[in-house]
């Protein structure tokens, strides 16, 4: 099957993909829905060092299946 990394938009978190994630997983797909650093339940990690590159790196690590950030 296919692996998906679904990334939320502004003011959201991984929770916004709950129904889509469930639907894809029920069809046998691998789905990862990270909450980006600095927003939602990860807002405590926000700092001047968090930027677009941080989010790109997080999603890249997630999509290779080797490391899923928490």
Spatial distance between the Cα atoms of 39 and 55, rounded to a whole number of angstroms: 11
Write down the pLDDT at residue 60.
83
Write down the pLDDT at residue 70.
41
Spatial distance between the Cα atoms of 34 and 45, rounded to a whole number of angstroms: 14
3-state helix, strand, coil in the chain (%, to 5): 45, 10, 45
- List of the chain residues with pLDDT < 50: 67-70
**Full-model pTM:** 0.74
Spatial distance between the Cα atoms of 52 and 49, rounded to a whole number of angstroms: 10
Spatial distance between the Cα atoms of 69 and 61, rounded to a whole number of angstroms: 8
Write down the pLDDT at residue 31.
94
Write down the pLDDT at residue 1.
84
């Amino acid at each position: 099957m296919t692996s998906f990394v679904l990334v939320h938009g502004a003011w959201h978190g991984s929770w916004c993909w709950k129904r889509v994630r469930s639907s894809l997983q029920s069809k046998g797909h691998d789905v990862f829905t990270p909450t980006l650093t600095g927003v939602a339940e990860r807002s405590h990690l926000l700092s001047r060092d968090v930027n677009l590159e941080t989010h790109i790196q997080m999603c890249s690590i997630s999509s290779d299946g080797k490391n899923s950030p928490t």
